[in-house]
A and B are shown apart, each in its own frame.
Chain A
């Protein structure tokens, strides 16, 4: 099944024409509505009329997460606040969140894109889908929810955190689909097994995303739960989940490229690379009204192909992600920058400025440990004192990143000092 055959199966030429028309309109729109873009274009002497087609996109300047942060909270919005109907936010490196805003039309398009993805995963109106992403400022829950409603499925808004309730309802409601992070789904499969419910479920499709996972992990999920597991991609700045998803061929993620124009650039030179070559994924939102983004650097590394897929869709496909061009970690679906942990630790006077983040995956759930050195002057000879201190550090970190980390106090001087760029992260998770 294809949700929107007109858009998902257009010829490459038609797609380019559509993208060209939308880009021209977008550039004109941001030039007149967002001071940030106007100034950037003026600085390089670029006028909206200089952009004649999609091939001219390379003339436009890039946008980064820092730009969003610098203009916190609403600086890059292109419409008055009265037209914004929804806000989402993700945690930022300096404690400031990255805020994104949607107009009613933006939400409609978002639901449309998620509907395409859900349909790619074989989900339709006869399905019962549990949405087990977090609901709230995070785009996962509400994003997947609206798309699932759009296709007419029976939506169960589980949110996260209660595996027992989820598995019980999965059986009782006869759930046929689930949307959650892949590591959470593996965890769920274990809970199902422990409870002896594996042969009582009717699950046939899973739409997983919000964190990097391997092809091996995807196959493991398919085998354990006897489902088709699909990789849904998105980032809140660009929209949220639904920017791309893989079809039943599992041969790359189809990008909703009539709405999000993908480019792959060399992260160092920022020049475009050829199809098939790995580089940083850059998105231009072709139709967004609230927070349009021009050439937004995702920092995700991937490659692209524009060849027609065996499923019949002609939309460009990006490969499974091959890492990041920055030091961002994705832990339990949450974006974490080491600098956020660092900033939190600076405010705890008892610890030295050295730290190490150890990320692992235990029983399919991400674990995060932060090792810190105690400042010798704050050393206490009471266990109570050390306990109090680890709690204080844990609190500071959870406030900064929204995740609970295990705190380990180590001997002064025992954390590795390196010359040049310090190593602050040990990621033991395997991505293949």
Chain B
């Protein structure tokens, strides 16, 4: 399943992450998953939210660089080797994974968020 991910550029200054979360809270945007990639200079916050467009708009108004990116949400069986199978599938199709992070784990199923080189192709691969 392809979904819109909201990502935000965060300067490495104290309180910046909190500010982003505050904006989302005030806009009643619910966060389902989050990953923070950071370097010594800045951070990239990636979010799966229920209302990405509204989130982006409000963040822009608050002075944050943000963007919407198509990412793949993949359900994987919650057992050993589940994730490895997924990666094998994409590797076989010559699709490269740019980044990924966990979404939810419920009962015996888990989901991951993936950004891959050819999203449509990857999506097809998982349907097979």
Contact = CB atoms under 8 A, between A and B. Distances in A.
B80 interface: no
Interface stretch (B38-46, B104-112, B119-127): B38-46
Interface string A288-313: 00000000000000000000000000
A409 B42 CA distance: 8
B7 interface: yes
A383 B115 CA distance: 13
B63 interface: yes
A403 to B, nearest CB: 19
A380 B98 CA distance: 13
A17 interface: no
Contacts of A409: 9, 11, 41-42
B87 interface: no
A75 B46 CA distance: 57
**Which one of B9, B11, B63, B115 has the greatest number of beta carbons of chain A within 10 Å?**
B9
A404 interface: no
B88 to A, nearest CB: 24
A411 B37 CA distance: 16
Contact of A374 (B5, B7, B65, B115): B65
A379 B98 contact: no
Nearest to B9: A379
A160 to B, nearest CB: 28
- Give the interface size class of chain A: 10 to 19
Nearest to A386: B42
**Which one of A381, A408, A412, A414 has the greatest number of beta carbons of chain B within 10 Å?**
A381
B98 A382 contact: yes
Nearest to A384: B98
Contact of A379 (B39, B41, B63, B67): B67
Contacts of A411: 9-11, 16, 63-65
Contacts of A386: 9, 42, 44
Nearest to A382: B98
A4 interface: no
B116 interface: no
B63 A381 contact: no
A413 B7 contact: no
A339 interface: no
A379 B65 contact: yes
27 contacts: A374-B65, A376-B60, A376-B66, A376-B67, A379-B9, A379-B65, A381-B115, A382-B44, A382-B99, A382-B115, A383-B37, A383-B44, A386-B42, A386-B44, A408-B41, A408-B42, A409-B41, A409-B42, A410-B11, A411-B9, A411-B10, A411-B11, A411-B16, A411-B64, A411-B65, A412-B63, A414-B11
A381 B11 contact: no
B19 to A, nearest CB: 10
A383 B41 CA distance: 11
Interface in B1-36: 5, 7, 9-11, 16
A412 B41 contact: no
A97 to B, nearest CB: 32
B85 interface: no
A413 B59 CA distance: 12
A412 B5 CA distance: 20
A412 B62 CA distance: 10
A374 B8 CA distance: 12
B67 A383 contact: no
Contacts of A380: 67
Interface of B: 5, 7, 9-11, 16, 37, 39, 41-42, 44, 46, 60, 63-67, 69, 98-99, 115
B86 to A, nearest CB: 21
Nearest to B67: A379
Interface in A386-417: 386, 408-414
Contacts of B5: 381
B41 A381 contact: no
B3 to A, nearest CB: 14
A381 B7 contact: yes
Interface in A254-295: none
B63 A413 contact: yes
A408 B46 CA distance: 20
Nearest 4 interchain pairs by C-beta: A381-B7, A413-B63, A379-B65, A381-B69
A350 to B, nearest CB: 11
A360 to B, nearest CB: 16
Nearest to B71: A381
Nearest to A374: B65
A380 B66 CA distance: 8
B11 A379 contact: no
Contact of B65 (A382, A383, A412): A412
**Which one of A376, A408, A411 has the greatest number of beta carbons of chain B within 10 Å?**
A411
B66 to A, nearest CB: 7
Nearest to A381: B7
Nearest to A410: B11
**Which one of A383, A409, A414 has the greatest number of beta carbons of chain B within 10 Å?**
A383
B70 to A, nearest CB: 11
